[in-house]
Each structure stands twice: as C-alpha cells, then as structure tokens.
A and B are shown apart, each in its own frame.
Chain A
C-alpha cells in the first residue's frame, strides 16, 4: 500500500470521525441551543421540589429559557434551594412565580416561570421567594380521598 493512499484513507477516517462528533454535538446534544451565549444566575426557594434534577429545563410559556444548575437543602429554613442559569436574552419581572411542573403525567419535571407584571426585572444573583411546590402524586391522591370521605360524611 503506498503512502499517499494510506494518508488518504486515514484522512477520510479522521474526517468522518469528527463529522460524527459534530453530528452528536449539534443534532443529538444541546451544544447548539444551550451552551452558547450569555447566561445569568437565579435562585429560588421551594418547599418541595419533588423529583426535580440538576440539568432539568427551565421553561416559560413552554419554551426552554434556561437550566437547573444545582439543588441544595437549606438547613435553616428547611427548604430546597434551586440554582438556575437563564439565557441572558430573556428578562423576567420580579414578581414572576416559579412552579415545578411535570411534562406528561410521568414525564420529567421542569421549572416553569409564570410571568408577573412588575416593571423591575430579575437580575443576576437574585433569589425568588414566590414559588409553588411540585405536585406530589401521593399527596394529591390522599387529599382527594380525604375530601371524598369528608363529602360522604356530610
């Protein structure tokens, strides 16, 4: 096998290998959508985050606007602290309410932004206090059963 043919084949091999990486990065992964561009950091306190995970999407009106970066437990307030990075292109009013929703009945959980009417906008490092906890299915069911029982007693 002569040198030039060899080089050509190896060049071809490396090129399609890198093309595969590009395909994985852009078409399969989220390199194109989320990792580029400026972001700012927000924090929120929740009573209960349910099954929320790091890297879960943050959505407003169904559009992904950011991602959960960390989840901690605050030992003083006994609440969950959720850190998020939000795309710098989107600004939200200070009275925005954060909710934890589920996509589909058993799908993954995400943080939803219910936009308020304040004229002042949230800034980098702000903490949002107005939140609504995750809907815990067991709790929901037991509440429903309880109410049903109450109704029947009447």
Chain B
C-alpha cells in the first residue's frame, strides 16, 4: 500500500467513520440493555424517585427563572413587532404558540442537558473511575439496572414536567410584560390565545417533543458516563461531550419532530 499523505488522510477518515458507527451501535445496544433491565428501577420506584429529585427538583430554579425571562422578552419583542401592524392583541397568541410549540420544549431541554445531563454523566463517570461500578458488579448487582436505569427514567419523567413549567412560566412572563406593563387588553390577550392554541395540536405535541428530548438527553448522559475513560480527564471530557452532543441532538430532533407534527397546519 502506498504510504503518502492522501492514503493516510483517507485511512484516518475511514477509521473515524467506523469508530463513530461502532460507538453509535454500542450506544444503541446500551439503550436496549437499559430499557430491558428497567425492572428494578420501576419495581423499586424509590430508586427512581431519588433520581427525580436530583435531575428534576434541582433543575426547577433554573427552569422557572429562565422561563419567566424568556416569556418577558417575548412579550417585549412581540409587542414591538405586532403593534406596527396594529394587532397587538395577538401578543397572547405569539407568546403562547412560540413557547408551547418550540421554546418551551427546546430551551428547557437545552437547560436540562447542561444542568442535569452533565451531572448524571459526571456522577456515573466518577462512580466508574472510583471502581464503584466494578464493586457493584462484584457484589452481583448489575450497575445498569441499579445505577443507569433509575437515572434514565428519572430524566424521561422530569423533562416533560420541566418543559411544561417553562412554558407556563413563560406565558406568565409574557402576560406580566404585555398586559401589566405595556397595557395590552387583558381580555383579548387570553381569549385570542385560547382561540388559536389547540390542546392536542399544540400543547400535546409540545409535551411529546419534551418526552423525546428527555429520552435523548438521559440516554446520552448515562451512556457517556458509563462509557467514559475512568480518569479525571475522561470524566470531564465525557461531561462536555454530553452537553455538546445532546444539544445538537435536541435541535436536530426538534427539526424532525416539527416537520412531522406541524406540517401544513
């Protein structure tokens, strides 16, 4: 085989691609194992409740505060644009639809990935680095069932709740700015919103989105933690990868889901 720059570049590319595909396959098998060994996490639900506390409850503050501010900004910007066309009453529609359909699920998921996803990765990674996972295995307890599955399900359960709280908080923020501060008519703010936000088409679809995002983030987080190099650099690298990969995955998945859900509507 000729040993020149081109050959080497192609080899490098080939190796990188096969590595990625191999890792993806490994991650898929890992997800399958997590779901299959979820019996313990669901039967002994207090294990999962504990993790819901760490992923969900501890993310509450950042989600609520960010939701409020995003809603308030939407109120200001939306009013500025809408009043040029003399339809500032539509502010409610604008705030509610953008939050419920997009910003709620997506921004909450991005925050969740950096707040809870990274914590999950770091925790599992550290457990691996300090041989706690090996110790568990040697005590005949499967770490996937005992450590990974409860964290995975806690993420899947917490995410939609957080996204709904984010949207609700955002709409409240929009209301504060639009109605209380600027003085848009309160009646038309709510009634126009109610007339154009459909429960099934808009709200439920948003909830479904956040479910999918929750599963994606939890999957990436537990996998990166479980798969990381058991050293300090390994854990910090895996934590960064969790945030980067899940943020990209959320945005890509959001595009696909939006295309499927709101097509033609």
Contacts and interface: CB of A to CB of B under 8 A. Distances in A.
Interface string B155-198: 00010111011011101000000000000000000100111111
Contact residue range for chain B? 35 or more
Contact of A64 (B160, B171, B193, B195): B195
Contact residue range for chain A? 20 to 34
A24 B168 contact: yes
B200 interface: yes
Given A1-B53, A25-B199, A35-B199, A13 B161 contact: yes
B56 interface: yes
Interface centre among A25, A28, A31 (most CB of B within 10 A): A28
A10 B56 CA distance: 8
A23 B57 CA distance: 20
B195 A57 contact: yes
Contacts of A23: 168
Interface string B201-239: 111000100000000000000000000000000000000
A3 B46 contact: yes
Nearest to A3: B46
A107 B87 contact: yes
Contact of B52 (A10, A27, A33): A10
A7 B49 contact: yes
A47 B80 CA distance: 37
B131 to A, nearest CB: 25
A55 interface: yes
Interface string A3-46: 10011011011101110110111011111110100000000000
B259 interface: no
B100 interface: yes
18 contacts: A3-B46, A6-B53, A9-B57, A10-B52, A10-B56, A20-B161, A20-B169, A24-B164, A24-B203, A28-B96, A28-B203, A29-B197, A29-B198, A29-B203, A35-B200, A106-B85, A106-B87, A107-B90
8 tightest A-B CB contacts, nearest first: A17-B161, A20-B168, A31-B199, A29-B199, A20-B164, A29-B197, A20-B165, A13-B57
Given A32-B194, A64-B195, 19 more contacts: A1-B53, A6-B49, A6-B50, A7-B46, A7-B49, A13-B53, A17-B161, A17-B164, A17-B165, A20-B161, A24-B164, A27-B194, A28-B171, A28-B194, A29-B197, A30-B195, A53-B265, A104-B86, A106-B87
